[in-house]
Amino acid sequence: MNEMTPRRNIDPEQITTIDKRSNISKQELLKEYIEPEIPVIITDAAKKWPAMGKFTPDFFKTNYAGLTKEIKGKRYEMGEFIDLMLNSTPENPAPYPFNLNIKRIFPELLADIKPEVVYGKLDRINHPLLPQFLLNGTEVYELFFGGKGAGFPFLHYDALYMHTQITQVYGAKEFIFYSPGQSHLLYPKPDRPKASQVDVLNPDYEKFPLFKQARQVRCVVQEGETLLFPSGWWHTTQIHGPSITMGRAQLNKSNWKNFSNDNYEQWKLLHPNYSYLGIAALMYTKALGKIMDIQEALKS
């Protein structure tokens, strides 16, 4: 679709391509993509970010060589990993995901990823009345480092029903999507319903015959571009060269109820002896959602 052609009355379940748009207003973004829950790539949302041109492999190797990350039981230092990333091949890919929480590990870099991209009328995830402990299980801001031939290890949608922002600050990344209405074709794991049992790059059709009916949508997010996609969209990735990605979780009115309920379910699972605290958190998030609804109405 041409960059300047708006989406009108499109069923999210029927899209076959992801639009790339530039010079789009906040009102257009809300009406054409966020409210109908359609993924979109914004080509110029991050054009003023100091991170662009700064967040390179050399920058992280020079300034954060000693930081470590454990992947599949092995711990890697940043300096070591950057070398693996730069020399990664499909036959011998660098381990992935090498992802780090920006707010906790690189708080000084938060200023480099502004102005914020807000997925909705209000930045609910950074609302001053939302306690951080209610975000356990997700990372609001994180950096992903990956090399050629690597990719996310399984098809999934994000914890706590978060909407997702992906900005490529270095290199490119390919995304593979399946729309939310196809969940029954993707064989969610019984114990982890947000993750699929199917290896989408090498599917076993004898074991998962319904997967043959699933419709896939692919897109490549280039350096400097920002991908926005709603909660519930199944996705995984492939990387075809050195890549550094900023991932950002997003909350708005459309996923607030699912976020609130999933938070409660996670609390029951992890803290069964303190279920009353989970109920309190559920009641609080429901009340907070109503407050945010009013704030958004006043902004309209």
Give the model's pLDDT for residue 7: 54
Residue 189 pLDDT > 80? yes
Residue 61 dihedral angles phi and psi, to the nearest 5°: -70, -35
Average pLDDT score over residue span 102-127: 96
Q: Which of 3-17, 75-89, 231-245, 265-279 has the lowest mean pLDDT?
A: 3-17
Give the model's pLDDT for residue 136: 87
DSSP letter assigned to residue 156: B
230, 258, 93: which is closest to 166 by C-alpha?
A: 230
Residue 111: inside a domain: yes
Give the model's pLDDT for residue 12: 87
**C-alpha 247: how far from chain center:** 6
Q: Which of 48-52, 138-142, 148-152, 267-271 has the lowest mean pLDDT?
A: 267-271
Report how far residue 234's alpha carbon sits from residue 205's, in angstroms, rounded to the nearest whole number.
Answer: 19
Q: Which pLDDT tens digit goes with each residue over 191-218?
A: 999 999 999 999 999 999 999 999 999 9
Residue 43: inside a domain: yes
Average pLDDT score over residue span 223-246: 98
Average pLDDT score over residue span 274-295: 93
CATH number assigned to the domain comprising residue 163: 2.60.120.650
Residue 299: inside a domain: no
Average pLDDT score over residue span 230-236: 97
Residue 300: inside a domain: no
Residue 263: inside a domain: no
pLDDT band per the 50, 70, 90 thresholds, residue 267: confident
165, 171, 179, 163: which is closest to 235 by C-alpha?
A: 179
- Give me the number of domains the chain comprises: 1
Residue 1: inside a domain: no
Residue 11: inside a domain: no
Scan for tokens 């906040």, then name that residue.
26
152, 150, 56, 135: which is closest to 101 by C-alpha?
A: 135
Q: Which pLDDT tens digit goes with each residue over 279-288?
A: 999 999 999 9
Task: Look at 58 and 278; give whichever has higher pLDDT.
Answer: 58
Residue 186 pLDDT > 70? yes
pLDDT band per the 50, 70, 90 thresholds, residue 6: low
Residue 254 pLDDT > 80? yes
Average pLDDT score over residue span 100-117: 97
The range of the structural domain enclosing residue 182 comes to: 31-251
Give the N- to C-terminal CA distance of the chain in Å, as an integer.
29
Residue 1 pLDDT > 70? no
Mean pLDDT of the chain: 94
DSSP letter assigned to residue 32: I
User: Considering the entire predicted model, what is its pTM?
Assistant: 0.93
Average pLDDT score over residue span 214-238: 97
Give the model's pLDDT for residue 2: 43
Give the model's pLDDT for residue 137: 84
Average pLDDT score over residue span 239-267: 96
pLDDT band per the 50, 70, 90 thresholds, residue 8: low
Residue 26 dihedral angles phi and psi, to the nearest 5°: -60, -40
Q: Is 36 within 8 Å of 10 (Cβ atoms)?
A: yes
Residue 238: inside a domain: yes
